[in-house]
Each structure stands twice: as C-alpha cells, then as structure tokens.
C-alpha cells in the first residue's frame, strides 16, 4: 500500500484544485472568483454573488434577469412539505429539520437525468429559491402562524424577511437597513473554500449522489458548534456572561485552561492567523445597523469588551486567536429579529451558492474521483478468534 501520510483534520492536504475562492490566512484575504469580498459586500447583491460563484463571472443584465425569473419561478414549495414541518417534535433544532427537508426535496422533485445540464441548472436554482422559503416556512409553523408566500416584486433578501415577519395584523415594514444587513451577512457567508461542510458536500457528492443529498450532508456538518453552529454558541456564551453580571473573566480563564474543554466561541480559525476579513466587515456593519435601528444590545458591549481583553491577552496573541465571522454576526441577526436557534440556518442559506459552486466544479472536473482517504492503522496485529467459553 506504500507509505501513508498522516494529516489529522486534513490541515495540510489539498483535496482538490479549485478556481472558486482564494484565501490567504496570514494576510487575511478572501476573494470570490478573484473579486475581494470587501467589494462584493459593498456593491453586489446576494443573487449576483451566487451567480458569480456558480458560473465563474458576474452576470450581465440579461443573465441576471433570467436568473431572477428562474429563482422566482422556483420559490414556492410543495404544500405537502408543510405536513413534514408540522410533525417534527416542537423542540427539534431547525438545522436537523433543514437537513432532512433538503434531502426530502429529492423525492418531491425527482430528476430524470442527474447529468443533464438543463436539469442540473434547475436543481441548483430550485435549491437556492426553496431553501430560503423553507427556512421562513419552518419559522412560521413553529410560531403557529399562517405561511406567507414569496412575492415576485421583492428582492431575494426582502422576500425572506417578508416571509418571516409579515402577519395579517402587522404587515412587515421593509427596513432598508435590515435588508442591507442581511445582504452583507449572506454575501460574507457565500463561500469559504474547503471548510468542513463544503468538503462534506464534495465528498458525499463524489459518490455521485444527487445534489440534494450532498447539500443535506453539508447542512449536517455546518450544524456543529466548531463550524456554523458557532454563531448560535457565541450568543449563548454572551448571554451566560450577561447573566453572570457581565463578568467575562471567567470565560477568558476557562478558554485558557487546558483542562477545560471550553473555548471562546467566535474566536480562532483553522486558516486565518490574523483578523478574519469577514469579521472586520461584520463588526463595522453591526455598529452601523444598531445605530440606524436605534437598538442598544447589551451583548454588543460585552462582545466588544471581551474582544479587547482577549486581543491583549498573551494566550490569545500567542495562539493567533482573533474574532472570526461568527463573533459579531449573531448580534446582527438578533437586531433584524432572527431567533437564536435559526442563526445557523441563516448561515446555511448564505453558504448554499458556495456548496453548489463547489459541487458543480467537481462534477465538471474530468479528473473527478471518488473521495476515499486512507488511514494509519494502529489497532491489534493479527490474533486468533477465541470461542466465547474461553474468553
């Protein structure tokens, strides 16, 4: 079998060649298809960024219109799906529900030919359009409210907020600042090269499974608190600190204690050994949003102080631990009314274009192979079976 190199957590293994996202963890650089994420966050729409990631270039006017029409046409979900949502136990985590429901979509929309380009395009658009609708739908059902349908006159971000918050008694008033915050939040999450969930999508996809199943595996991976689940974990950590009277020294001490599994949530990154460029944008937007909406969130003050103390603490400095995207994103989501247990679902909607683009890139690669890592065996050497009476 030859010599097998051990690389725990694949920290140094390139699993594929990719032309989608460039990251430089030392300098804090992130670009989608070559365009700095800062420029996209300032100027682009989420829809356009999704197109860019999937198709490799920005759309022209006609292409964007066609893409918008396709998204609108696919934005309704089969009403029978409602029954599924209604029958999950009340306390189910929305990420578990989403992962199952995305897998279930395959049964509702079976594809005749998984390799036909037209069919693939429809499946990709369907996912982008329907996952957003399904996320809002599960929220409405969890509240016992009537569903709100997507509207073709609203943008991708407006539509989501409207489906979440519009009710017959209080029509949702679309706030420019909230829409903008959501746009930036989703653009910043849209891709991040071979992270845990994207690698899951590629790996599961490499068995030539359908796209719904591959994305469903990505959602399951994203759920974890070391990955996408960190945005929920950050808020829960800040709330605990708030309950303890704002004393965050305990959290800092615990994070530094090698005998304590506790970690400072929203800090540290496998690749970024400097400030996460997404976190910089998120922090600035968080300040602007709260000011514009005239919201005072005590958790923001705690987060700011916590960051300052950590960045001046030798443990965090020596370990190159800086805030990552999740540190301020939860405060942004809270400000626009998203419940804490849906934070990671918001991440998933944002990451969808990246997962789809990476899956498509692997499919289009003539050298695409089944993912099948090796191991370094450390178990027993051969010994004979012992009958039960002799054990």
User: CA 295, CA 107: separation in Å to the nearest integer?
Assistant: 44
Residue of 205, 218, 266, 350 interacting with ligand CMC (CB under 6 A): 266
Q: Which stretch binds ligand CMC (CB under 6 A): 60-68, 155-163, 257-265, 335-343?
A: 257-265
190 touches ligand CMC (CB under 6 A): no
Closer residue to ligand CMC (CB): 260 or 365: 260
Q: Which stretch binds ligand CMC (CB under 6 A): 87-95, 118-126, 167-175, 261-269?
A: 261-269
Q: Which stretch binds ligand CMC (CB under 6 A): 52-60, 125-133, 264-272, 331-339?
A: 264-272
269 is an active site residue: yes
User: CA 321, CA 335: separation in Å to the nearest integer?
Assistant: 26
* Pick from 4, 24, 2, 22: nearest CA to 13: 4
CA–CA–CA angle 284, 290, 294 (5° rounding): 150
Least separation, in Å, of the C-beta of 268 and ligand CMC? Answer: 2
317 touches ligand CMC (CB under 6 A): no
191 is an active site residue: no
321 touches ligand CMC (CB under 6 A): yes
- With CB under 6 A as the rule, give the number of residues binding ligand CMC: 20
User: CA 329, CA 284: separation in Å to the nearest integer?
Assistant: 11
227 touches ligand CMC (CB under 6 A): yes
Residue of 263, 273, 280, 304 interacting with ligand CMC (CB under 6 A): 263
User: CA 169, CA 15: separation in Å to the nearest integer?
Assistant: 52
322 touches ligand CMC (CB under 6 A): no
307 touches ligand CMC (CB under 6 A): no
Catalytic residue among 153, 269, 365, 384: 269
Closer residue to ligand CMC (CB): 35 or 252: 252
Query: Which chain residues interact with ligand CMC by CB under 6 A?
Result: 9, 195, 226-228, 230, 255, 263-270, 319, 321, 324-326
């Amino acid at each position: 079998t030859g010599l097998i190199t051990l690389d725990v957590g694949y920290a140094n293994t390139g699993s594929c060649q990719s032309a989608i996202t460039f990251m430089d963890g030392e300098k804090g650089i992130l670009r989608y298809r070559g365009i700095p994420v800062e420029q996209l966050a300032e100027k682009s729409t989420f829809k356009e960024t999704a197109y860019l990631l999937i198709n490799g270039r920005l759309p022209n006017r006609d292409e964007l219109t066609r893409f918008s029409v396709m998204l609108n046409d696919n934005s309704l979900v089969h009403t029978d799906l409602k029954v599924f949502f209604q029958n999950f136990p009340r306390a189910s985590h929305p990420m578990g529900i989403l992962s199952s429901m995305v897998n279930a979509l395959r049964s509702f929309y079976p594809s005749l030919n998984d390799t036909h380009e037209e069919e693939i395009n429809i499946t990709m658009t369907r996912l982008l359009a329907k996952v957003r609708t399904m996320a809002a739908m599960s929220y409405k059902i969890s509240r016992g409210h009537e569903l709100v349908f997507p509207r073709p006159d609203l943008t991708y971000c407006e539509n989501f907020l409207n489906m979440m918050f519009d009710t017959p008694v209080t029509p949702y008033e679309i706030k420019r600042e909230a829409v903008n915050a959501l746009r930036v939040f989703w653009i910043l999450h849209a891709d991040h090269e071979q992270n845990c969930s994207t690698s899951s999508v590629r790996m599961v996809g490499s068995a030539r499974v359908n796209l719904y199943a591959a994305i469903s595996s990505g959602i399951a991976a994203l759920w974890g608190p070391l990955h996408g689940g960190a945005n929920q974990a950050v808020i829960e950590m800040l709330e605990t600190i708030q309950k303890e009277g704002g004393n965050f020294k305990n959290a800092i001490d615990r994070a530094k204690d090698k005998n304590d599994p506790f970690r400072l949530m929203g800090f540290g990154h496998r690749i970024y050994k400097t400030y996460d460029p997404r976190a910089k944008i998120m922090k600035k937007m968080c300040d602007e949003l709260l000011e514009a909406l005239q919201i005072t969130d005590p958790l923001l003050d705690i987060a700011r102080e916590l960051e300052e103390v950590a960045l001046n603490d030798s443990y965090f400095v020596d370990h190159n631990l800086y805030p990552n995207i999740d540190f301020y994103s939860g405060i942004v989501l809270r400000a626009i009314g998203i419940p804490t247990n849906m934070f990671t679902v918001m991440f998933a909607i944002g990451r969808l274009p990246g997962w789809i683009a990476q899956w498509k890139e692997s499919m289009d690669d003539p050298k695409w192979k089944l993912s099948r890592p090796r191991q370094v065996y450390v178990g027993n050497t051969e010994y004979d079976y012992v009958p039960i009476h002799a054990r």
